[in-house]
């Protein structure tokens, strides 16, 4: 496990403990500090998948909104802190979704590039994949492609 992965997992567990599963209202300053740490971190798609930090941040955002609603009746400076936490969370989630979308598009481009190999397919799954992309039928158990002249 790399240090960035360990950091992501550590921050995800802190999000869970200090915000989501906190028995009382979490401290808004601690929440903002945690979000600042997340903002400085370099996130990749694999980090998002392994640490599940995106899911924790989404749950934290819902928690921030709930605490903003409940504390807005008591007045004070708390609502402003929760607004800041909500804005930072939303910004981070948008940034991470863009990263995930870019990496998914890159994988799709690589996959289509690999599928367009010239020559004959090397195995049945590659053959089936070509037929599916060309919207043709695959005859199960046959060693040759289906003929177009069917006489019934």
Residue 96 resides in a domain = yes
> What is the domain count for the chain?
1
49-62 pLDDT tens trace: 888 888 988 988 89
As a whole number of angstroms, the distance between CA 96 and CA 43 comes to 7
SS (H, E, C) 123-138: CHHHHHHHHHHCCCCC
pTM of the model: 0.65
25-76 pLDDT tens trace: 788 888 888 889 888 888 888 888 888 888 988 988 898 888 888 876 656 6
As a whole number of angstroms, the distance between CA 122 and CA 90 comes to 47
Assign residue 44 the CATH number of its domain.
Answer: 1.20.930.10
Question: Within its chain, how far is the Cα of 69 from the centroid?
Answer: 28
Nearest CA to 117 out of 106, 129, 105, 107 is that of 129
Residue span of the structural domain in which 99 resides: 3-133
């Amino acid at each position: 496990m790399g240090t960035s992965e360990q950091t992501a997992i550590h921050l995800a567990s802190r999000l869970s403990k200090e915000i989501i599963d906190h028995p009382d209202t979490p401290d808004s300053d601690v929440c903002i500090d945690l979000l600042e740490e997340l903002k400085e971190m370099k996130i990749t798609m694999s980090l998002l998948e392994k640490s599940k930090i995106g899911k924790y941040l989404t749950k934290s955002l819902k928690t921030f909104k709930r605490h903003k609603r409940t504390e807005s009746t008591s007045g004070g400076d708390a609502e402003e802190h929760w607004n800041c936490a909500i804005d930072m969370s939303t910004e981070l989630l948008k940034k991470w979704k863009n990263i995930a979308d870019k990496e998914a598009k890159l994988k799709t481009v690589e996959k289509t590039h690999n599928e367009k190999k010239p020559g004959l397919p090397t195995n049945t799954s590659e053959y089936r994949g070509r037929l599916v992309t060309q919207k043709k039928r695959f005859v199960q158990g046959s060693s040759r492609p289906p003929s177009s002249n069917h006489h019934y």
